[in-house]
Chains A and B, each alone.
Chain A
Amino acid sequence: MIKCIAGIIEPDEGEIYVDDRIINGLPIEDREVGYVFQEIALFPHMTVYDNVSYGPFVKGRKIIEAKDLIKEILNMMGLQDRAKEYPNALSGGARQKTAVARALISGSKLLLLDEPLGSLDAKVRLVLRYELRRLVKDLGLTAIHVTHDQEEAMSIADRMVVMRAGEIVEVGTPLELYMHPKKLFTAYFVGEANLFVGEIVKRNNYVKVDIDGMTLYSSHKVDFEDKEAVAVIRPEFIVVRRGKFSKGLWTGVIERKTFLGSVVRFEVRTNNNKMVAIKRPVSEASKFNVGDAVGMVLPPKALLLYPYPEEGLEKAISLE
């Protein structure tokens, strides 16, 4: 999609507008968009300085005139000490910063980021994503950032577009898509989710769903008529209990406990043979161990309902 905007590929049909101006057919070099490539694609035969100054250079501006601008951008990205180095001497992070600096120098207000952090170590990715957002905000740019990393997307986006097989599934703020996704795929793809197939039994204030003999309630209204439904709940919204279990409470046995740093992830096999993933803060973790029988509270507010997909559940949520 962003290749269409940049003009690297032309759409078969439809129009693309930038600043209310139609740009179909305009060659790449006249579109004036900043583009950061997944491959980073720094010119290997040029220094950092030459890479960054390439934009003004090819437009025929004297390097001398653009000198201050280049210097300013290098400083802004913290690259001033590396200006004379060649790309292969840089770390992954510095390379990525150079690529951003190179894209920014044209003064374009539209920045297209194609998996800009994809080639970096996880930890570096974490640091740089916030720097990227800050830069965009400080310079008042519009940015389209393409990524397959949903946490990266959520943490820096104003608006998030979930895409699948060339189609937009859903658009919304990260919070909306996380808390109240309109589509099953979004619910599954954005953050972790437990999925249960069941049957809607009653539609009052609370919708009552039967999952293989166990009951769940949702406080959300359902706008579909089908009886067969998929109930979705995020692992971090489920509360775990010990001791006496009241009737109707989901119960099960902890089969696996995984330490994830700030949270602990449990896998609980319920009495009706479902696997439930649960994430709890570490402070609660010591109370529960593998083999323990536990009760689970699945808050109706956190339970989302979707019609059972025509193509089958596995296909509907398939990531490949």
Chain B
Amino acid sequence: MPSIKLVNVTKSYGNVTAIKNLSLNVDDGEYVCVLGPTGSGKTTLLKLIAGIIKPDKGEIYIDNKLVNNVSPQERNVAYVPQYYALFPHLRVIDNVAFGPLSRGVRREDAYEISMKTLEMMRLSWRADSFPHELSGGMQQRLALARGLASGAKILLLDEPLGALDARLRVELRFKLKDMAERNKLTVIHVTHDQEEAMSLADKLVILRNGEIIQEGSPSHIYNEPASIFVAHFVGGANFFEGFVAEKDEYGSWIQLRNGPLLRVNDATRPVGEKVVVMVREEKTEILKMVKRVEGINLLTGRIEDIRFLGNFISYSILLDNGDKIVSRTPTIASIGRFKIGERVYVRLNAEDLKIFSYPSHGLYKELEVI
């Protein structure tokens, strides 16, 4: 059964360490998304598993067999690079048949398998075309068909949707997942698009500078981010600087810049520690200032910008203490209710607030993904 295991794998190019002491388990039939910014080592990771490059240190297992010294052609893993690397001089059908033929399958059988795979990918009608004659979406399907026809049960996808238009990308996401499930494949899919990763992954792996900084189900990572970076990179989040002003056995009070206090359900930090408070953009509630509202975790501010995102509207609010908060609400719930310049309350729930230690190099630097 196709499972993948990496144990303490390290790979460097010159003085650049692309993968640092990385360990990862992928179960049979699992769809794993590796999410990370450009240069985090995503492609290197796939190439290590495919056997195209060899690790400096550590072991790689496929089906519980050590494959460090197994050549790529014997690993039976289908690697689909970012721009597909279709064979430009071969027809669609010959592209697909390349794998079986290379593995010594009889010619007639190889073409039968290939035609079946093309039918499954709805490409059989273009069997005699050349890759450059296909549209972007069809090229992507051809790349997948080519990998599948080689008999591989492990699919390594490097930004498989990256070369496509945004809308098409969303449409094809689910088709990709369907295909993987139907063929009982084990998939590792790398991407820098967090929404894509979350919507596809059984397991989400966050990669940064060659290290896994968190892994788990998408909802776990979204709700329990292990660090400021993860919270920021996966989904929209607000961050405030502050320090622990008081604490009791149920939680603590965090004092933000210029005074306001926030109640959080976290009593692990000592009084006086400098911290960062995080709240998801959609876990914020904006209230009109028509009547006086009282309570805890209530901030005041003025709406600076309103951005329409389709199913959401995002409000950018300058709080009276000088911090900024972005609030995201479903379009139907808030459409037309607020105006730019309007003063509002922002209410937060203690259970939605997370605190993190203040990063040694500053919050701004930690949030810098650009």
B193 contacts the other chain (Cβ, under 8 Å)? yes
A320 contacts the other chain (Cβ, under 8 Å)? yes
B330 contacts the other chain (Cβ, under 8 Å)? yes
Shortest C-beta distance, B347 to chain A (Å), equals: 15
Task: Contact check, A263 vs B311: say whether CB atoms are below 8 A apart.
Answer: yes
Task: Contact check, A154 vs B310: say whether CB atoms are below 8 A apart.
Answer: yes
1/0 per position for B297-317, CB-CB distance to A under 8 A? 000000001011111101000
Task: Contact check, B235 vs A259: say whether CB atoms are below 8 A apart.
Answer: no
Closest partner residue, chain A, to B222 (CB atom): A261
- A residues less than 8 Å from B38 (CB atoms): 92, 121
- A residues less than 8 Å from B330 (CB atoms): 236, 281
B194 contacts the other chain (Cβ, under 8 Å)? yes
Task: Contact check, A320 vs B136: say whether CB atoms are below 8 A apart.
Answer: yes
Which A residues between 274 and 320 are near B, CB-CB below 8 angstroms? 279, 281-282, 302, 319-320
Q: Chain B: how many interface residues by the 8 Å CB criterion?
A: 45
User: A155: which of B135, B219, B308 is its contact (CB, 8 Å)?
Assistant: B308
User: B193: which of A122, A154, A190, A234 is its contact (CB, 8 Å)?
Assistant: A122
User: A93: which of B166, B281, B370 is its contact (CB, 8 Å)?
Assistant: B370
Which A residues between 82 and 135 are near B, CB-CB below 8 angstroms? 91-94, 121-124, 126-128, 130
B293 contacts the other chain (Cβ, under 8 Å)? no
- A residues less than 8 Å from B29 (CB atoms): none
**Interface-forming stretch among B64-72, B87-95, B167-175?**
B167-175
User: B312: which of A127, A148, A175, A262 is its contact (CB, 8 Å)?
Assistant: A262
Task: Contact check, A236 vs B308: say whether CB atoms are below 8 A apart.
Answer: no
A43 contacts the other chain (Cβ, under 8 Å)? no
- B residues less than 8 Å from A92 (CB atoms): 38, 370
A260 contacts the other chain (Cβ, under 8 Å)? yes
CA distance A282 to B235 in the complex (A): 13
- A residues less than 8 Å from B138 (CB atoms): 320
CA distance A319 to B233 in the complex (A): 29
Task: Contact check, B369 vs A151: say whether CB atoms are below 8 A apart.
Answer: no
Which B residues between 303 and 342 are near A, CB-CB below 8 angstroms? 305, 307-312, 314, 328, 330-332, 335
A191 contacts the other chain (Cβ, under 8 Å)? yes
Task: Contact check, B307 vs A261: say whether CB atoms are below 8 A apart.
Answer: no
A32 contacts the other chain (Cβ, under 8 Å)? no
B48 contacts the other chain (Cβ, under 8 Å)? no
Closest partner residue, chain A, to B232 (CB atom): A123
Task: Contact check, A121 vs B37: say whether CB atoms are below 8 A apart.
Answer: yes
Task: Contact check, B308 vs A262: say whether CB atoms are below 8 A apart.
Answer: no
Which B residues between 154 and 188 are near A, CB-CB below 8 angstroms? 165-168, 170-171
- B residues less than 8 Å from A258 (CB atoms): 198-199
Closest partner residue, chain B, to A130 (CB atom): B307
- B residues less than 8 Å from A250 (CB atoms): none
- A residues less than 8 Å from B218 (CB atoms): 259, 261
CA distance A237 to B333 in the complex (A): 10
Closest partner residue, chain A, to B166 (CB atom): A149
Query: Chain A interface (Cβ within 8 Å of chain B)?
Result: 91-94, 121-124, 126-128, 130, 147-152, 154-156, 174-175, 178, 189-192, 234-237, 258-263, 265, 279, 281-282, 302, 319-320
Can you give 10 contacting A-B residue pairs, CB < 8 Å? A91-B370, A92-B38, A127-B370, A150-B167, A175-B335, A189-B167, A236-B332, A259-B198, A261-B218, A262-B236
